[in-house]
């Protein structure tokens, strides 16, 4: 059975395994972090969730998806959102975004996210779920080839 739950420290090795699978298929993140565990917990992170099968006693945790929320005053940003290839097509991304939306609503925060402009499936998911495109702008970071990718910035449905 697949379920969504707050991320615990013991989930981090499984999160890194899922992230590695995503990176191999999608090149997300574009640059593999030197310390992926720290990357999964960015500064300002206020909450994080994982989705995966219910852990069985004595079995290693399996994570199929991850998201965290980074708080910046009255705005919160969806961050580190990914679904492993093995978990796609099951609505896990929507479930993770739902957890972030609930968290933001609880604290009366405006929720935003950004995505690389060429990431069609992610943008399609956000738009299908009612997120509104509010801006296109260059990233404040560089890709491995030295370019600054264009980002699509979305605001959560009200």
| pTM confidence score | 0.93
Give the distance from CA 38 to its chain's centroid: 14
- How many CA atoms lie within 13 Å of 92's alpha carbon, on the beta-carbon side? 25
Domain boundaries, the chain: 2-155
Instruction: With CA atoms as reference, report the closest residue to 65 among 17, 114, 134, 111.
Output: 17
Instruction: With CA atoms as reference, report the closest residue to 7 among 49, 52, 38.
Output: 49
Instruction: With CA atoms as reference, report the closest residue to 64 among 87, 93, 37.
Output: 87
According to CATH, the superfamily of the domain at 2-155 is: Gcn5-related N-acetyltransferase (GNAT) (3.40.630.30)
Q: Are 117 and 152 in contact (CB under 8 A)?
A: yes
φ, ψ at 143 (rounded to 5°): -80, 170
| Percent of the chain residues past pLDDT 70, beyond the cut | 98
- Confidence band for 104, pLDDT divided at 50, 70 and 90: very high
Interval 52-70: pLDDT, tens: 987 776 677 899 999 999 9
Give pLDDT, residue 1: 82
Give pLDDT, residue 17: 97
- Confidence band for 120, pLDDT divided at 50, 70 and 90: confident
Interval 131-149: pLDDT, tens: 999 999 999 999 999 999 9
Report d(CA 28, CA 76) in Å as an integer: 21
Report d(CA 158, CA 94) in Å as an integer: 16
Report d(CA 150, CA 92) in Å as an integer: 26
Q: Is the model's pLDDT at 151 over the cut of 90? A: yes
Q: Are 86 and 17 in contact (CB under 8 A)?
A: no
Give pLDDT, residue 58: 65
Q: Are 40 and 48 in contact (CB under 8 A)?
A: yes
């Amino acid at each position: 059975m697949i379920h969504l739950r707050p991320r615990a420290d013991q989930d981090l090795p499984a999160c890194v395994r899922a992230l590695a699978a995503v990176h191999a298929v999608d090149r997300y993140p574009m640059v593999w972090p030197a310390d992926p565990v720290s990357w999964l917990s960015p500064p300002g992170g206020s909450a994080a969730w994982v989705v995966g099968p219910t852990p069985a006693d004595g079995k290693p945790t399996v994570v199929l998806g991850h998201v965290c929320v980074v708080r910046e005053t009255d705005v919160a940003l969806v961050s580190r959102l990914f679904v492993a290839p093995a978990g796609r097509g099951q609505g896990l991304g929507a479930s993770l975004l739902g957890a972030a939306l609930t968290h933001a609503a609880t604290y009366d925060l405006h929720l935003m996210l950004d995505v690389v402009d060429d990431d069609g499936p992610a943008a399609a998911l956000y738009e299908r779920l009612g997120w509104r495109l509010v801006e296109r702008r260059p990233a404040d970071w560089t890709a491995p080839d030295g370019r600054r990718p264009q980002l699509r910035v979305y605001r959560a449905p009200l």
